[in-house]
Homo-oligomer: A and B are copies of this chain.
Amino acid sequence: MSLTALRQRIATVSDLLCTLNLLVWDSRTMMPAGGTESRGHQIATATRLARDMIAADQTLELLDQAEQEVAGLPPDDDAHEELRQIRQAVSLHRRVPAELVERRAAIRAKANAAWAAARDANDFAAFAPWLEETVASTRDYADAIGWSEHRYDAMIGLYEPGETVATLQPLFSDLRLGIAPLLEKARERPPAELSGGPFPPSIQAETAKRFAALFGYDFGRGRLDATVHPFEISFTRSDVRITTRFNVQDLRPALFGAFHETGHGLYEQNVDPGYTRSAFATDLVGLYAVGGTSFGAHESQSRLWENHVGRSLRFWRLHFADLQAAFPDALASLTPDQFYAAVTVVRPSLIRVEADELTYDLHIMVRVELEAALMDGGLSVGDLPAAWNDAMRRHLGLTPPDDRRGVLQDIHWSSGMIGSFCTYTIGNVMAAQLFEAAMRVDGVSDGLDRGDYAPLGAWLRDRVWRHGRRRSRTEILQHATGSPLAPDAYIRRLAERYGA
């Protein structure tokens, strides 16, 4: 009875969070410029109502009663895990004062605009006061959540439960050691040739949709649109939308953007339908309608389809002819091997979102190192630009010529999103482990050889997608691969591709 009422309440929260996702999707794809301020109010209201509903006394009472109701159920009944997750969210949202949530929202609304203006003007000093407020309020937020070893741990845990500064250090250290020699070798490779187009956006869009459908993405429950920054977002598994971007001179951003977002989309579309509107398809801690179990697990699916499937010689030997048929003039003189070479160029660069596969994680290490120092107070905002440039020299051997191409490049900090960067690397690592395990499954690799992605999809659906948030990333990885998170498989894959 109370369990039913509690589930109804969670369903309502889920409806609100799906609605919030639509407000966000629309603001990035369809909304006229004039709508910005009103949309901010609408997003703030939906977020606040969802949070208040989770933190309400009535929810806590229902939860207390529901826990008693399920106490007698068998230990493997889903209700135990369901209530554990709800308890965690209720407890967290009741620990964080509403005043702090409002303060962070108010800072974010202004810091976003200040950051965009400061980046355009290459003026870190103009952003610094907002970043100071963001860091201070994030420290307060982490303290409200609670932490034991490192304040940063509280923030990391919001995006990747179980990870901490202590668990990330050996992972990053192993990766650095594995990547360094590959980077030396990759620098020696001759520059790759690529056509400069033109690639008409409408044909790029059709092509991207064809590949997404080939991978198994269901357009009856989704759509693909154009945006500046590609993303995937869902309003339950029945409506999962992806975007990509179109550059008339360069086909790669649209293609690999679409492969990446298709990976995210496949995860969301294939969560167990029984989890719809429940805690197992809603991030009640982060207040986000999402079926995937962690940011890292989600990124593992996008990276798997983008890099292990799509960025492979096997793939382009099969499909480059389709691409040539779509762009007969622009691609006439290229071979599949040349195209593959052009999509695996390695070149250390200043901008994370433009980084190649091999150097991407080095950008992440820069950010995680600086975030940890900001959170424990070892680094002040005033010293951040110098620290950024120093870290870029150490990790990538490059010195940013200005802050625009340095410390001001990412939107994350202006959004109060401190702690999420590590999940990109965790996604890369997990993707390699899953792909290696999938290759040992009968029929999967044979499928890839003939352009049949259904066997791979079926294995991922069974091992990863369908479990939604019912299982943690650690449980999923252990069950699917027999191992915990470890960088070996990833380094092996990178060595195959870039070490030859």
Contact = CB atoms under 8 A, between A and B. Distances in A.
Contact of A42 (B30, B219, B222, B235): B235
A239 B32 contact: yes
Contacts of A239: 31-32, 34-35, 38-39
A12 B42 CA distance: 8
A30 to B, nearest CB: 7
Given A34-B221, A223-B30, A15 B45 contact: yes
Contacts of A33: 220
Contacts of A207: none
Contact of A236 (B26, B38, B45, B235): B38
Interface stretch (A17-25, A298-306, A375-383, A471-479): A17-25
A238 interface: yes
Interface string A171-196: 00000000000000000000000000
A6 interface: no
Contacts of A496: none
A427 to B, nearest CB: 26
B19 A219 contact: no
A37 interface: yes
B46 A19 contact: yes
A22 B32 contact: no
A123 interface: no
Main secondary structure of the interface of A (DSSP, over half): helix
Contacts of A16: 45-46, 49
Given A235-B35, A238-B34, A41 B11 contact: yes
A151 interface: no
A276 interface: yes
A232 to B, nearest CB: 14
Interface residues of A, number: 37
> Most chain-B CB neighbours within 10 Å: which of A31, A32, A49?
A32
Contact of A26 (B22, B41, B42, B238): B22
Contacts of A390: none
A277 B223 contact: no
B221 A32 contact: yes
B42 A18 contact: yes
> Most chain-B CB neighbours within 10 Å: which of A36, A38, A39, A218?
A38
A32 B236 contact: no
A42 B22 CA distance: 10
Interface string A218-231: 11111100000000
A130 to B, nearest CB: 24
A41 B15 contact: yes
Interface in A229-245: 235-236, 238-239
Nearest to A17: B42
Contacts of A31: 239
B15 A19 contact: no
Interface in A264-287: 276-277
Nearest to A236: B38
Contacts of A12: 45, 49
A34 to B, nearest CB: 3
B218 A38 contact: no
Contact of A19 (B23, B30, B238): B23
A41 B239 CA distance: 13
Contacts of A35: 221, 235-236, 238-239
A45 B15 CA distance: 7
Interface in A350-374: none
Q: Which 10 A-B pairs have the closest CB atoms?
A: A35-B239, A34-B221, A15-B45, A38-B236, A34-B238, A15-B42, A38-B238, A19-B42, A34-B220, A15-B41
Given A11-B41, A34-B221, 14 more contacts: A12-B49, A15-B42, A18-B42, A19-B45, A22-B42, A30-B30, A32-B220, A34-B220, A34-B238, A35-B239, A36-B238, A38-B276, A39-B235, A49-B49
